[in-house]
Chain A
């Protein structure tokens, strides 16, 4: 019988991500303060490095919560940097933004169509799309970096800051807030959770589950495109390598934040904290002076520990 108490610590397994975040932050603050960990510049750097992952992870929360997966996001972000840069070179920043969004919608519709109409599992659809998007990006850019010579675009999309606050922080907060409200407080969000929690039951309740999955995959690609636009702005160029491998960090962030790989469960707030935690760990390990090889091992171990602690034992 349900004997769930509502206290924060009584449900500590559910809230392990928040507890873990605080614990790691305090440990780093105590041990690394002499290396400038608590320095505002350093903390804002963590935000800058995490923003793109966080933006994609917000959408990934929806994808996982409805029982699907999207492996193509890193490559789509890379493709978008190239299409945006090329469009800006030809027709200016506004055209660049349009080209970026259009790239996301086009890829998302294709993923959604293959998954919900043809019936290919999203794991395969998006795995194939990962290669296609990367190949397209290499082809149209002839594997060369495409420079972006629009200071306005670069400022708005990732390079700029308002006072000491980087624009990227606003992007992350705005998209996070929208994602949180859509998942928690709208009919669409509830249908996403219902679809992932029990597809048959959702259908019996009158939910068009194929439609929900389609929309969620489009959402994911558009978020990847926005992340690509931010990469392009921050690095003032489009390159096919940008975003490469991000899908793993994004999925790790969502799962760390308590989103179930089997669908039905997930929170956007948890996901953002998960993304920040990955950024925090990366930053701390670098400040500790660990070699890259050691960083990889330590990061993997911390993620496994956090997820293992969150598992409910029978």
Chain B
């Protein structure tokens, strides 16, 4: 039987960083093939190569036995490949039906667009999936779950030979995931090959026939799912700990007084009823998958989304945080996830970024005191060891790691007691990552209380004293970091690896704990 997809020796680098290194990947018709790996393993990159968004630097691709030589989205689609893009391919101002059939619209006899026919066909697809989505609704008005179903319908509607689903279930209710699985079985029985990406091992174990695991841009293993019990999968995904993190040591934690306490904290959508305490000198990690409510919790604490229930106590006093300024005044600083858009003004100098959040304090009669600004900038550059030619250079000229330090410095200038870091190491090279984590430890040692969100478990384990595991917007358990270590294991790298496996298992367990269905919208 001809394979549905054969990718051989695929390599792809982005500015010197090898995202894919000589990777082989083969998918058979009629199977659900899981593609697994941690963050930065190269899953998205190989899918985008297959899908024509990225051109491979080396390697060959065959689809249904025919070589794919042109690397554009149109060429891949013509070859029979369809993919959902985690909402990336939806246009918010068009309707559901218009989005599903964009560039493939139904036509009337005279060649004009026929929106009614598109809506009817969209309805049929949603009926087949047994889900309720209004084909006439404007996508921008939909909730996350409905958008995801629209993305899936868009991929399905192309009646392709290879269907790629990249984390299709993150925003779906449990019952919708069930219906999706039933539908995928129908498709595979017709010979369609499905490539399925998910971080939820329970899903993989149920839906997939075979799995391929990538790590650090390299192929690790391809095997039948029966030969890959969850702990073996996790072992392959985690692998040997890459160097770099090993030299960050967690010091003794001398916990101070309680800085921040959440009591049954509930946000507009997420989180639900989350309670925890954060002490002075402590780093608290939030672990969980996409959509688990980690960032939503951070936004509630930072006053970006006001709490809809529960209480926030800061330094022993109940607080009402309705807007970011309230949180800043209470001594909370959020270093947001999207550095380039939410954290810095790339074209401005290091110094002017640094003083952005304290302009009021260093200004007299509305004029910024430039000496004070320089002083703050120089202090921060020294304290955080930011590598920049000068304080007057544009932040855009700095490396990712140093840009992140500027963002952290900007918030340290407000002299907060509580620092919330959302994915502080995203998009930073491995060397700078350990530097950022060391910085986090140092700040805690200097008496800050830190809440850190990271999808890279090894970093969370290196930086944190305690870890709160979240799923579906709820807190599942608080784990002492030390409890994850095997005291009998003398080698640091292997101990960290063991702890990461343990944490992975706890995160997966939290998912299968029965909770209410996720809310739509």
Residues 96 to 151 of chain B near chain A (Cβ within 8 Å) = 98, 102-103, 105, 111-113, 134, 137-138, 141-143, 146
Bits for A157-195, please: 1 = Cβ < 8 Å to B, else 0: 000000000000000000000000100111101110110
Q: Does A200 sit at the interface, judged by CB under 8 A?
A: yes
Quick check: B105 and A187 within 8 Å, CB to CB?
A: yes
Contact of B77 among A4, A206, A263 (CB under 8 A): A206
Q: Which residues of B contact A197 (CB under 8 A)?
A: 91-94
Give chain A nearest CB distance to B269 CB in angstroms. Answer: 12
Contact of A2 among B72, B74, B88, B141 (CB under 8 A): B141
Quick check: A265 and B91 within 8 Å, CB to CB?
A: no
Q: Does B89 sit at the interface, judged by CB under 8 A?
A: yes
Quick check: B93 and A265 within 8 Å, CB to CB?
A: yes
Q: Which residues of B contact A207 (CB under 8 A)?
A: 102-103
Contact of B142 among A2, A181, A198, A263 (CB under 8 A): A2
Give chain A nearest CB distance to B213 CB in angstroms. Answer: 26
Q: Which residues of A contact B92 (CB under 8 A)?
A: 197-198, 264
Bits for B31-44, please: 1 = Cβ < 8 Å to A, else 0: 00000000000000
Contact of B73 among A4, A193, A204 (CB under 8 A): A204
Bits for B190-202, please: 1 = Cβ < 8 Å to A, else 0: 0000000000000
Q: Does A288 sit at the interface, judged by CB under 8 A?
A: no
Q: Which residues of B contact A265 (CB under 8 A)?
A: 93
Quick check: B143 and A201 within 8 Å, CB to CB?
A: no
Q: Kindly state the separation between the CA atoms of A204 and B164 in the bound complex, as whole angstroms.
A: 14
Q: Does A205 sit at the interface, judged by CB under 8 A?
A: yes
Residues 463 to 521 of chain B near chain A (Cβ within 8 Å) = 520-521
Q: Which residues of A contact B105 (CB under 8 A)?
A: 187, 190
Q: Does A202 sit at the interface, judged by CB under 8 A?
A: yes
Q: Which residues of A contact B72 (CB under 8 A)?
A: 206
**Smallest CB-CB separation from A266: which chain B residue?**
B93
Q: Kindly state the separation between the CA atoms of A259 and B377 in the bound complex, as whole angstroms.
A: 45
Give chain A nearest CB distance to B154 CB in angstroms. Answer: 8
Quick check: B143 and A187 within 8 Å, CB to CB?
A: no
Q: Does A314 sit at the interface, judged by CB under 8 A?
A: no
Q: Does A142 sit at the interface, judged by CB under 8 A?
A: no
Most A Cβ at <10 Å: residue of B102, B134, B521 = B102
Q: Does B85 sit at the interface, judged by CB under 8 A?
A: yes
Q: Does A118 sit at the interface, judged by CB under 8 A?
A: no
Q: Which residues of B contact A203 (CB under 8 A)?
A: 73
Q: Which residues of B contact A2 (CB under 8 A)?
A: 134, 137-138, 141-142
Q: Kindly state the separation between the CA atoms of A207 and B94 in the bound complex, as whole angstroms.
A: 15
Contact of B89 among A4, A184, A201, A263 (CB under 8 A): A201
Residues 2 to 33 of chain A near chain B (Cβ within 8 Å) = 2, 4
Quick check: B138 and A4 within 8 Å, CB to CB?
A: yes
Residues 126 to 164 of chain A near chain B (Cβ within 8 Å) = none
Give chain B nearest CB distance to A201 CB in angstroms. Answer: 5
Q: Kindly state the separation between the CA atoms of A166 and B89 in the bound complex, as whole angstroms.
A: 47
**Smallest CB-CB separation from A191: which chain B residue?**
B103
Most B Cβ at <10 Å: residue of A193, A196, A198, A264 = A198
Identify whether the interface residues of A are mostly helix, strand, loop, or mixed.
Answer: helix
Quick check: A185 and B138 within 8 Å, CB to CB?
A: no
Q: Kindly state the separation between the CA atoms of A291 and B238 in the bound complex, as whole angstroms.
A: 78
Q: Kindly state the separation between the CA atoms of A1 and B92 in the bound complex, as whole angstroms.
A: 14
Q: Does B163 sit at the interface, judged by CB under 8 A?
A: no
Give chain B nearest CB distance to A208 CB in angstroms. Answer: 9
Q: Does B453 sit at the interface, judged by CB under 8 A?
A: no
Contact of B88 among A194, A204, A263 (CB under 8 A): A204
**Smallest CB-CB separation from A196: which chain B residue?**
B93
Contact of B102 among A184, A190, A200, A263 (CB under 8 A): A190
Quick check: A4 and B141 within 8 Å, CB to CB?
A: yes
Q: Which residues of B contact A193 (CB under 8 A)?
A: 91, 93-94
- Interface size for A (C-beta < 8 A) is 28
> In which size bucket is the chain B interface?
20 to 34
Q: Which residues of A contact B146 (CB under 8 A)?
A: 1
Most A Cβ at <10 Å: residue of B73, B93, B134 = B93
**Smallest CB-CB separation from B110: which chain A residue?**
A185
Q: Which residues of A contact B112 (CB under 8 A)?
A: 181, 185-186
Q: Kindly state the separation between the CA atoms of A2 and B143 in the bound complex, as whole angstroms.
A: 8
Q: Which residues of B contact A185 (CB under 8 A)?
A: 112-113
Q: Kindly state the separation between the CA atoms of A4 and B142 in the bound complex, as whole angstroms.
A: 11
Quick check: A206 and B137 within 8 Å, CB to CB?
A: no
Quick check: B89 and A204 within 8 Å, CB to CB?
A: yes
Q: Which residues of B contact A206 (CB under 8 A)?
A: 72-74, 77, 103
Contact of A264 among B88, B93, B520 (CB under 8 A): B93
Q: Does B90 sit at the interface, judged by CB under 8 A?
A: yes
Q: Kindly state the separation between the CA atoms of A1 and B85 in the bound complex, as whole angstroms.
A: 22
**Smallest CB-CB separation from A181: which chain B residue?**
B112
Quick check: A201 and B90 within 8 Å, CB to CB?
A: yes
Quick check: B113 and A184 within 8 Å, CB to CB?
A: yes
Give chain B nearest CB distance to A284 CB in angstroms. Answer: 34
**Smallest CB-CB separation from B77: which chain A residue?**
A206
Q: Which residues of B contact A201 (CB under 8 A)?
A: 85, 88-91
**Smallest CB-CB separation from B78: which chain A residue?**
A206
Give chain A nearest CB distance to B171 CB in angstroms. Answer: 14
**Smallest CB-CB separation from B87: which chain A residue?**
A201
Q: Which residues of B contact A202 (CB under 8 A)?
A: 91, 102
Q: Kindly state the separation between the CA atoms of A193 and B102 in the bound complex, as whole angstroms.
A: 11
Q: Kindly state the separation between the CA atoms of A301 and B53 in the bound complex, as whole angstroms.
A: 48
Q: Which residues of B contact A187 (CB under 8 A)?
A: 103, 105, 113
Give chain B nearest CB distance to A92 CB in angstroms. Answer: 37
Give chain B nearest CB distance to A258 CB in angstroms. Answer: 12
Quick check: B90 and A198 within 8 Å, CB to CB?
A: yes
Q: Kindly state the separation between the CA atoms of A201 and B99 in the bound complex, as whole angstroms.
A: 10
**Smallest CB-CB separation from B114: which chain A residue?**
A185
**Smallest CB-CB separation from B107: which chain A residue?**
A187
Quick check: A1 and B143 within 8 Å, CB to CB?
A: yes
Q: Kindly state the separation between the CA atoms of A203 and B89 in the bound complex, as whole angstroms.
A: 8
Give chain B nearest CB distance to A275 CB in angstroms. Answer: 23
A194 in contact with B91 given A186-B112, A206-B74 (CB within 8 Å): yes
**Smallest CB-CB separation from B108: which chain A residue?**
A185
Q: Kindly state the separation between the CA atoms of A190 and B143 in the bound complex, as whole angstroms.
A: 23
Give chain B nearest CB distance to A200 CB in angstroms. Answer: 7
Q: Kindly state the separation between the CA atoms of A198 and B490 in the bound complex, as whole angstroms.
A: 53
Contact of A198 among B77, B93, B141 (CB under 8 A): B93
Quick check: A200 and B93 within 8 Å, CB to CB?
A: no
**Smallest CB-CB separation from A188: which chain B residue?**
B113
Residues 228 to 287 of chain A near chain B (Cβ within 8 Å) = 260, 263-265
Quick check: B91 and A264 within 8 Å, CB to CB?
A: yes
Quick check: A190 and B98 within 8 Å, CB to CB?
A: yes
| A-B residue pairs in contact (CB < 8 Å), sample of 22 | A1-B520, A4-B138, A181-B112, A185-B112, A190-B98, A190-B113, A191-B103, A193-B91, A194-B94, A197-B91, A197-B92, A197-B93, A198-B90, A198-B92, A201-B91, A204-B53, A204-B73, A204-B89, A205-B102, A205-B103, A264-B92, A264-B94
Known: A1-B146, A184-B113. 7 other contacts (CB 8 A): A187-B105, A189-B113, A197-B92, A204-B53, A205-B103, A206-B74, A264-B92
Q: Nearest 8 CB-CB pairs, A to B?
A: A264-B93, A197-B93, A185-B112, A2-B137, A197-B91, A198-B91, A204-B89, A2-B141
